[in-house]
Amino acid sequence: MKLKFSHVDVLVKDLEEACSYYARVFSARISRTLDWQRDGLHVRYAIVMFGTERLMLVQPFTGNLKALMDSNGEGTIYRHCYSTPDIEAAYDELIEAGVQPENENGKPLSRDDLQSPSGTRIIWLPKRFGHFSIELLEEKELEAFIKDAFAQEPAQIF
């Protein structure tokens, strides 16, 4: 499977405060604030870029990520994200290896349901080691999504 590292996801209690910190400390570029809601999960998040490096700061309101932050605390890195040129091929390779891809709530994901609320096609590997997960996103769609997130100025300057 062809994979390229994309970013890590980090849980924060206050998205604006966290964005302000990275903007000040690293002169990071901050995307507009984004929202994700599906099946009881609700988060706000922003992409932080400094140089070619990026991370996503995620403020959870409901769902499994809120429970994770409540139990493990702010700053928890809970996911590594990778891009792949062909998400269906990655899905098929995982199935062939005996791994059932999941959605963001840990439920089995069918090959026909790879679309996320953000518009990017995405799959998650089952969590095998505590709360840590791996996310696979289709590279072309991910890069277009990130470009769009930075095309609009943030609603608030941090």
Backbone phi, psi, residue 115, to 5°: -80, 135
Which pLDDT value is given to residue 104?
Answer: 78
What domains are defined for the chain? 4-151 (3.10.180.10)
| CA torsion angle 64 42 102 125 (round to 10) | -70
Q: What is the mean pLDDT of each run of 10 residues along the chain (158 residues)?
A: 95 97 94 89 94 94 94 94 96 96 87 81 88 92 90 57
CA distance 52 to 81: 15
